[in-house]
Structure 1
Amino acid sequence: MLLHSRATSVDSAKSPARAEEAGKKRSARNAFEALLPKLVLSPTLIITLVFVYGFIVWTSVLSFTRSRGFATFKWAGFFQYARVWEHPRWHVAVENLGIYASLYVVLCLAIGLALAILLDQRIRAEGYLRAIFLYPMALSFIVTGTAWKWILNPGLGLTKLFHDWGWTSFQFDWIISDDMAIYTVVIAAVWQASGFVMAMFLAGLRGIDQEQIKAASIDGARMPSIYRRIIIPQLRPVFISALVILVHLAVKSYELVIALTGAGPGYSTELPSTFMYSFTFTRNELGMGAASAVMMLCTVAAIMVPYLYSEMRPRRSGGGH
């Protein structure tokens, strides 16, 4: 009995120490688990801060200088921005961007919505068709531009194909035409992106409550009316998301234009991105190239910031509180 009581007293004396030690281990483990995500993400965060936002700041600083190469950094205020706006090539680039972006966005939305509605009919081989329509988006813009350059080449591609079929009067020479070359860029860009827009719309269509559609059908509404009054209005968030993505892609388009037309013939397919690259890396006018890059950044920010604000803003509950 005496030994048992002594053992019990020793165990009871050790219990607080063991509990304290277990608590310390638990606290250390919790602290490590809380720190681990920060340790894992910190390299990516540092790289992003330096090579994205750091270079944005550096480009903005360069845009206010008379930099030619890395030799001179004389402060110039808004001189480079004035030069950009007065340059005739910039006006051509902005005009081409207006044509290209407008047609690109409208055609991608129209074709994407039409393909999504087609696939939403639960047709046979839907999986294969969806993969075929999505495949172009898996290609790089360089590959797309090179392929379409061959297809649209007056001596090869479509023209040669139709000539081999005996249609010798067919001559598709848009790619070498000053007035029509920009439309070849639109064709290639729409071919690549319309499948991606289709996938966005198809996801939106599959998320619509089918009970509303059934109720409208029972009430005698025809399918065109159902799409116009019920389905398409509910796709508004998808329309906005697709619009933002497409405009963003259009503003920064570079690889496709260079691979397809080389910004030519002449400067007929010049875009702000090719203008920026030419003056920065070909003419070595860093200040002017940086000014055009900042103007492109402001254009993209004017589109993205309101969209991100609307998406991140907390939604109010339906109770009106």
Structure 2
Amino acid sequence: MATRARLRPLTRTSYAEHIHRHLQPHLGALVLAELTPAVVAQAFASIARHRSPTGVLLSAATVQRVRATLRAALNTAVHQGLLASKPAKGLRLEGGRAARPVVWTEQAVADWRNGGVRPVVAVWTVEQTRAFLDHVCGDRLYALFHLAVMTGLRRGESVGLRWPDIDLVRGTARVERQLQSHQGRLVELAPKSAASRRMVSVDHTTLGVLRRHQWHQQQETQGQGRVWDPRGFVFTALRGSALAPERLSRLFRKLNTSSGLPPVRLHDLRHGAATLALAAGVELKVVQAMLGTRASC
């Protein structure tokens, strides 16, 4: 960990969690010479059976990420001549494919209301999305939710937007940074990939929403006791400071619950934005560019 100075804060936190929660308990007492493929396989069989405090098994995707952390460390050991081979190279694990988004159809909603059955990744229908936006229209961060629904911005990208990034005349939003929480403070980072650094088109209705939001924000800055962040963020906490992504997620969950709509994650609004765009006839490559994702076969 000490040699990986360029790790992003959340990646560093994730690596540390993998090491301390999973790798050290199963492999930490061994010397390198004892680290054989059989030992690694046995350790990961135990890791895959690990349950959270609520009794939930680790997902296959999480186990895959733990293996990736181990392999990164072992690759360094091989390069430094501490190991002759990579004992985790041939390790086979259950596939950790990402869950496909499931639309909240009438039947899916009925199953959820009757038995609590909930998809891992869920997407609202157009009608449900409209109902949510109607429900939150009076919230001071309504413009953020509206923008996320229409453009698929990630959580950190939304709270990282500054007013100079938005062209209210040409109808564009430039994604150049994101905010992440690290060790109790907010840090600014570049987008997660080259594809994530992008220019997003903003429709006429959303531009109107942003203009109204800007006007309301200007009224807030004139209130007594306000200490406004000089960086000019588009979406802020109540007193003008940068908005933490986790705080935004908590607000979204609260609003989702009060709306009576079936639950989705804030991140799932990205899938909804893609669904809306594709349904409107937007080409797949254009949707991928909008979301800041790489093309895949």
* TM-score of the superposed pair, with normalisation by structure 1: 0.27
| Greater Rg by CA | 1
Question: Which fold has the larger relative contact order, with Cα–Cα distance below 8 Å and residues 6 or more apart in sequence?
Answer: 1
* Structure (1 or 2) with the greater helix fraction: 1
